[in-house]
Amino acid sequence: MGIDLHTHSSVSDGTESPAELMATARAAGLDVVALTDHDTTAGWARAEAGRPHGLTVVPGMEMSCRWFPADDGRPVSIHLLAYLFDPAHPGFAAERLRLRDERRSRAERMVEALVADGHPLSWPEILAARNGGVVGRPHIARALVDAGSVESVDHAFATLLHPTSPYYVPKADTDVLTGISLVRTAGGVPVFAHGLASKRGRVVGDDAIVAMAGAGLLGLEVDHPDHRADERAHLRGVAADLGLIVTGSSDYHGTNKGTSIGAELTARDQFELLLAAGTGTAPYRD
């Protein structure tokens, strides 16, 4: 079985519409795909409507969270995958709305600062290019490429948009323990995404994962393109110790990133555990 539990559509920072993404998943031979756009469920209905025969679609989301380490006050960014939750749960829906507002005001401040230093960006054009979806740094990166300020999206992330850049503005993401509890209250399955991907920046220690498990975390994304072999081995051990589900996923973003859909997969028995734990929304299937 081909099971890929982490993909992005143009509703956040992928390049394919939800329906196109479903067709891509089927064409790649997948049996199961999860749609996990950042901080929004706006693509769910279009993924369901565009679902090819034979493909099981798991409605999900990747929630922007943060963890505050005990030793210093600087938060570490955490991406929390959430599957099969009830999108109408009021507390969770309100927090998603706050996160999207936060993304928008933060992106606008970054663009204003770049414009003030002579980068010819247009905030209305960036907003228009995101097609009504959730705005993120990838949208600013593409605009910087179009403006000739940087040679590539990768270069933009490595320089002007990097967390150490003077133009970088942090987002007030959800405390991860609150996020986990909201997902569970809405009947969803919370899974810690690319938890040890040190190439992305600072990562948390095992103490954070233990605390997250105590708050109701149900799984760890172990097989992810950004994880090295040693990082995968460590996470697999933590999952075994804590009794957590182990997933593998491509984190496909269309042509915004080099990874192919289905590049990393989840084992069938782990997927069955995840399905059994999700009670807020049923998967879309034949």
Contact residues: Zn ion, CB under 5 A = 8, 13
Figure out which of the listed residues 157, 251, 262, 280 binds Fe ion, where binding follows CB under 5 A.
251
> How near is the Cβ of 286 to Fe ion at its closest, in Å?
27
231/251 with CB nearer ligand AMP: 251
Each as own residue / partner, the long-range contacts of residues 142-149 (CB below 8 Å, 24 or more positions apart, any chain) are: 143/111, 144/114, 144/119, 147/119, 147/120, 147/121, 149/114, 149/119, 149/120
> How near is the Cβ of 155 to ligand AMP at its closest, in Å?
8
* Token pair for 39: 């901080």
Q: In whole angstroms, what is the distance from residue 267 CA to residue 3 CA? A: 7
119/137 with CB nearer Zn ion: 137
125 - beta bridge partners? Answer: none
Q: In whole angstroms, what is the distance from residue 203 CA to residue 215 CA? A: 19
Of Fe ion, ligand AMP, Zn ion, none, which one does residue 154 interact with (CB within 5 to 8 Å by kind)? ligand AMP
Of Fe ion, ligand AMP, Zn ion, none, which one does residue 79 interact with (CB within 5 to 8 Å by kind)? Fe ion
DSSP class of 199: G
**Residues counted in the chain:** 286
- The reply to whether 106 sits near Fe ion by the rule CB under 5 A is no
22/238 with CB nearer Zn ion: 22
Of ligand AMP, Zn ion, Fe ion, none, which one does residue 92 interact with (CB within 5 to 8 Å by kind)? none
Q: In whole angstroms, what is the distance from residue 271 CA to residue 231 CA? A: 21
> How near is the Cβ of 82 to Zn ion at its closest, in Å?
15
137/224 with CB nearer ligand AMP: 137
Q: CA distances (Å), 1 to each of 24, 32, 197, in order?
A: 16, 8, 26
**Beta strands 174-175 and 76-83: pairing type?**
unpaired
Helix, strand or coil, per DSSP, at residue 59: strand
Of Fe ion, Zn ion, ligand AMP, none, which one does residue 224 interact with (CB within 5 to 8 Å by kind)? none
Q: In whole angstroms, what is the distance from residue 124 CA to residue 119 CA? A: 15
CB within 8 Å of 228: residues ≥ 6 apart: 198
> How near is the Cβ of 241 to ligand AMP at its closest, in Å?
28
89/137 with CB nearer ligand AMP: 137
> How near is the Cβ of 115 to Fe ion at its closest, in Å?
28
> How near is the Cβ of 157 to ligand AMP at its closest, in Å?
4
> How near is the Cβ of 256 to Zn ion at its closest, in Å?
8
79/89 with CB nearer Fe ion: 79
251/264 with CB nearer Fe ion: 251
Alpha helical stretches, state H, the chain: 18-27, 44-49, 90-116, 123-129, 137-146, 153-158, 176-185, 206-215, 229-242, 268-277
x/- binding map, residues 152-191, to Fe ion, per CB under 5 A?
A: ----------------------------------------
Residues near Fe ion, by CB under 5 A: 62, 79, 193, 251
